[in-house]
Amino acid sequence: MIIPKTKEEIEKMREAALVVSKTLGMLAKEVKPGVTTLYLDKLAEEFIRDHDAVPGFLGLYDFPNTLCVSPNAQVVHGIPNDTPLQEGDIISIDCGAVKHEFYGDHAYTFPVGEVTPDVEKLLRITKESLYVGIREFKTGNRVGDVGYAIQQYCEKEGYGVVRELVGHGLGKTMHEDPEMPNYGRRGRGKKFVEGMTVAIEPMINMGTKNIKQLKDGWTILTRDGKPSAHFEHDVAIVNGKPKLLSTFDYIYEALGIQSNEEDDFRF
Ligand code: MG
Ligand code: MG
């Protein structure tokens, strides 16, 4: 069942989304060679609690940490550990927080130092596909329109679109209806309505779309060992159009990146 939110509820969700956005902005400065993901996890937990919020993943379905950190061939759900990041790695960081009873859920894939041009392209295309999908999240459209747009955008580059993991409705629980796949057929699936709030999150592999899971019961990685990228925004439909609840502004501010990618979707 889709649970549309009132204007007041969307304001609260905006605050939760800003907590995770600021957390990733804080982490952007910390991601560098030699740093462990366990250290990033500690920083994130403290930061979230300092902002009158609660880590959203910690304990959710028994997940052991605040962040999901997934380097290189890991797609999502990686568990923080004491292996230092290395120059040329990429690291997908997914962060959840609860504030005013609502969840924020937000992810970004960071390059660690310099990465190869083909990896840089994977990051760029995956992030662009996120906005290509967001543009389709409006009243009158359906779930399949978002998935179709993301899938076409990534597959024309020869990339694999992960099938087993999908975006989702977001609210007082982390995973509400509807599921928001990153693949699909135009005009198919549930219809979007005013006040809907979802997490759109393309998980895109440089090679095969196929994945496997580690024995830890969490970590998802690509079956061919090639890298994977993940970007996630929280989005609401306001006056029929997609409005971003989360923002990469804090990351870009930290890294000195100029971008107008969010301009059409400002809250
Ligand atoms: Mg997430
Ligand atoms: Mg999510």
CB 83 within 8 A of CB 36: yes
Among the bound ligands, name the one nearest to the CA of residue 106: 1
What whole-number distance in Å separates Cα of residue 96 and Cα of residue 104? 5
Residue 103 lies in a domain: yes
For residue 233, list its beta bridge partners.
Answer: 200
Residue 22 lies in a domain: yes
Mean of the pLDDT values across residues 200-206?
98
127, 136, 152, 243 from 133: Cα distances, Å: 10, 5, 10, 12
pLDDT tens digit string along 72-91? Answer: 999 999 999 999 999 999 99
pLDDT (0 to 100) of residue 34: 98
232 CA to centre of ligand 2 in angstroms: 7
88 CA to centre of ligand 1 in angstroms: 23
Q: Tokens 């955008």 appear where?
A: 153
pLDDT tens digit string along 104-113? Answer: 999 999 999 9
92 CA to centre of ligand 2 in angstroms: 13
Residue 230 lies in a domain: yes
Residue 91 lies in a domain: yes
Q: What is the mean pLDDT of the chain?
A: 98
pLDDT (0 to 100) of residue 178: 98
DSSP for 111-141 reads E-S---HHHHHHHHHHHHHHHHHHTT-STT-
169 CA to centre of ligand 2 in angstroms: 9
Residue 234 lies in a domain: yes
258 CA to centre of ligand 1 in angstroms: 24
What whole-number distance in Å separates Cα of residue 107 and Cα of residue 44? 13
pLDDT (0 to 100) of residue 90: 98
Among the bound ligands, name the one nearest to the CA of residue 97: 1
pLDDT (0 to 100) of residue 165: 98
Among the bound ligands, name the one nearest to the CA of residue 230: 1
For residue 205, list its beta bridge partners.
Answer: 160, 228
CB 180 within 8 A of CB 165: no
Residue 2 lies in a domain: no
pLDDT tens digit string along 121-150? Answer: 999 999 999 999 999 999 999 999 999 999
Give CA 136 to chain center in angstroms: 17
pLDDT (0 to 100) of residue 68: 98
pLDDT tens digit string along 246-260? Answer: 999 999 999 999 999
Distance spanning both ends of the chain, measured CA to CA: 25
pLDDT tens digit string along 143-180? Answer: 999 999 999 999 999 999 999 999 999 999 999 999 99
Residue 64 lies in a domain: yes
Mean of the pLDDT values across residues 25-32?
98
Residue 1 lies in a domain: no
pLDDT (0 to 100) of residue 50: 98
pLDDT (0 to 100) of residue 251: 98
95 CA to centre of ligand 2 in angstroms: 9
pLDDT tens digit string along 229-249? Answer: 999 999 999 999 999 999 999
Range of the domain at 127: 7-265
Domain holding 76: CATH number?
A: 3.90.230.10
Count structural domains, the chain: 1
What whole-number distance in Å separates Cα of residue 242 and Cα of residue 258? 22
Angle between helices 143-155 and 117-134 (to 10 degrees): 160
